[in-house]
């Protein structure tokens, strides 16, 4: 379904993904509390399943950019697309240390400048790590567009197989071995050309080239549950497989295997939605998603301690109350920003004023 030059099922997946991202970050602290309890286990499983969100964002980008003829233009890529992600990224990278400094009562020009100077090497806010590989795939998008345009479906599947084996399966096996029997991969042997988040990017395009309706909802749900529960279980036995510094969204085989059926399932659901009210809600929220991503972690910084100090209970109920508060306030603030021409583009990369 296409409306107002937007593909609805991609808007549907995008909105679901951002609210899953918020859940990951809100519930993160709960995965470190009351370890071993039933509520902890439920929260940890939900947190793990929510990790389908980041791969989905890259797959959405691949589905859009790699199907667009404009992507072949290096000029268009650098003049139109890259500024729309780089400008908000830079501004939020400046805003973040200021907000954190105010919160920690340690705001100073020296501290802010020190954080900004390191921007090329590390994010000024933890959640901004996502922007580095995103900008990378945007820069590579004209090259990848040329490849997928001339590649057969068989070649694309072959590329994805190489990516899954070299970037996910082998690293997952490697961390499961004890140090005394270390299984390592010589860095030079890595398949950099089909490495990292580029795999998800191409995978998103591939999803537009296959008939997703041939997969039953039940089989997709079962596959997602099997890979998700297995990944959660293995991450408890081998915590290193879920190490943020090792890029676990790629290097943990269970996350892509869980994300693929989840993406197909949501694509099918999105394509089958007929209610105009539901469609209008998702079309309203979709242009706000990027801004919500950029601001939500700063709201968690302020709201989470406040809620945890006033709520007379903890556990899952506390998690969801904080989650709803962060998600709602993030959406409200970005919607207000979206009404201000100029500022909207600078902070969210969106051109048009929303009505």
The predicted-structure confidence for 260-299, as pLDDT tens digits, reads as follows: 999 999 999 999 999 999 999 999 999 999 999 999 999 9
> Is 3 in a helix, a strand, or coil?
strand
Whether pLDDT at 4 is above 50: no
The CA distance from 225 to 221, in Å, is 6
- Report how far Cα 204 is from the mean position of its chain's Cα atoms: 13
Coil, helix or strand at residue 6:
strand
Mean pLDDT, rounded, for 221-232: 95
Q: In whole angstroms, what is the distance from residue 336 CA to residue 328 CA?
A: 12
Residue 5 pLDDT more than 60? no
Question: Counting Cβ atoms within 10 Å, is residue 116 exposed (0-12), middle (13-18) or buried (19+)?
Answer: middle
**Strand, coil or helix: 182:** coil
Say what the pLDDT of residue 108 is.
Answer: 78
Distance CA 336, CA 353 (A): 10
**Rounded to whole angstroms, what are the CA distances from 209 to 148, 151, 213, 221, 262?**
11, 12, 12, 21, 17
What is the model's pLDDT at position 176? Answer: 76
pLDDT digits (tens, 9 = 90+) for 23-34: 999 999 998 888
Q: What is the mean pLDDT of the chain?
A: 89
Q: What angle do CA 103, 106, 112 make, to 5 degrees?
A: 95
Strand partners, 6: 3
Nearest partner of 92 among 326, 298, 328, judged by Cα: 298
pLDDT of 352 reads 61
End-to-end C-alpha distance for the chain, whole angstroms:
22
Give the three-state DSSP class for 35.
Answer: coil
What are 2's strand-pairing partners? 7
Q: What is the pTM of this model?
A: 0.91
Cβ neighbors of 309 (< 8 A, separation 6 or more) are: none
Chain center to CA of 110: 31
**CA nearest 208: which of 106, 110, 66?**
66
Q: What six digits make up the tokens of 117?
A: 């100077």
> Under a CB-based contact definition with an 8 Å cutoff, are residues 258 and 225 in contact?
no
Q: What is the CA radius of gyration of the chain?
A: 20
Write out the two tokens for 130: 């996502």
Lowest mean pLDDT among 89-98, 142-151, 175-184, 292-301: 175-184
Let me know: does 289 contact 18? Beta carbons within 8 Å: yes
pLDDT for res 179: 61
**What does the pLDDT look like over 314-353, one tens digit per residue?**
889 999 999 999 999 999 999 999 999 999 999 999 876 4
Percentage of residues of the chain with pLDDT beyond 90? 64
If you average pLDDT over residues 150-165, what whole number do you get?
A: 93
Over residues 126-147, the mean pLDDT reads: 94
Neighbours of 254 (CB within 10 A): 24
210, two tokens: 């296959």
């Amino acid at each position: 379904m296409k409306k107002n030059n937007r593909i609805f099922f991609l808007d549907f997946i995008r909105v679901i993904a951002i609210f899953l991202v918020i859940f990951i970050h809100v519930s993160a602290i709960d995965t470190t509390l009351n370890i071993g309890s039933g509520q902890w286990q439920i929260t940890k499983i939900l947190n793990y399943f929510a990790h389908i969100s980041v791969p989905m964002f890259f797959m959405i980008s691949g589905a859009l950019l790699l199907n667009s003829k404009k992507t072949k233009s290096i000029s268009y890529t650098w003049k139109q697309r890259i500024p729309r992600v780089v400008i908000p990224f830079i501004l939020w990278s400046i805003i973040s240390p200021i907000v954190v400094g105010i919160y920690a009562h340690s705001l100073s020009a020296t501290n802010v400048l020190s954080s900004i100077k390191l921007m090329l090497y590390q994010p000024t806010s933890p959640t901004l790590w996502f922007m580095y590989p995103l900008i990378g795939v945007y820069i590579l998008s004209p090259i990848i567009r040329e490849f997928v345009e001339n590649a057969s479906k068989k070649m694309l599947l072959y590329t994805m197989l190489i990516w899954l084996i070299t970037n996910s399966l082998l690293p997952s096996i490697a961390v499961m071995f004890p140090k005394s029997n270390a299984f390592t991969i010589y860095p030079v042997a890595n398949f950099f050309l089909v490495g990292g988040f580029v795999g998800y990017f191409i995978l998103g395009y591939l999803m537009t080239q296959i008939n997703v309706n041939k997969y039953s909802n039940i089989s997709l749900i079962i596959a997602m549950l099997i890979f998700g529960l297995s990944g959660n279980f293995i991450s408890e036995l081998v915590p290193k497989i879920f190490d943020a510094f090792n890029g676990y969204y790629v290097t943990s085989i269970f996350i892509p295997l869980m994300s693929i059926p989840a993406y197909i399932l949501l694509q099918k659901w999105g394509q089958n939605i007929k209610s105009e009210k539901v469609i209008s809600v998702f079309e309203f929220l979709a242009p706000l998603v990027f801004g919500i991503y950029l601001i939500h972690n700063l709201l968690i910084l302020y709201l989470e301690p406040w809620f945890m100090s006033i709520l007379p209970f903890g556990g899952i109920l506390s998690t969801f109350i904080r989650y709803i508060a962060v998600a709602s306030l993030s959406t409200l603030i970005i919607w207000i920003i979206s009404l201000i021409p100029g500022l909207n583009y600078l902070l969210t990369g969106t051109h048009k004023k929303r009505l």
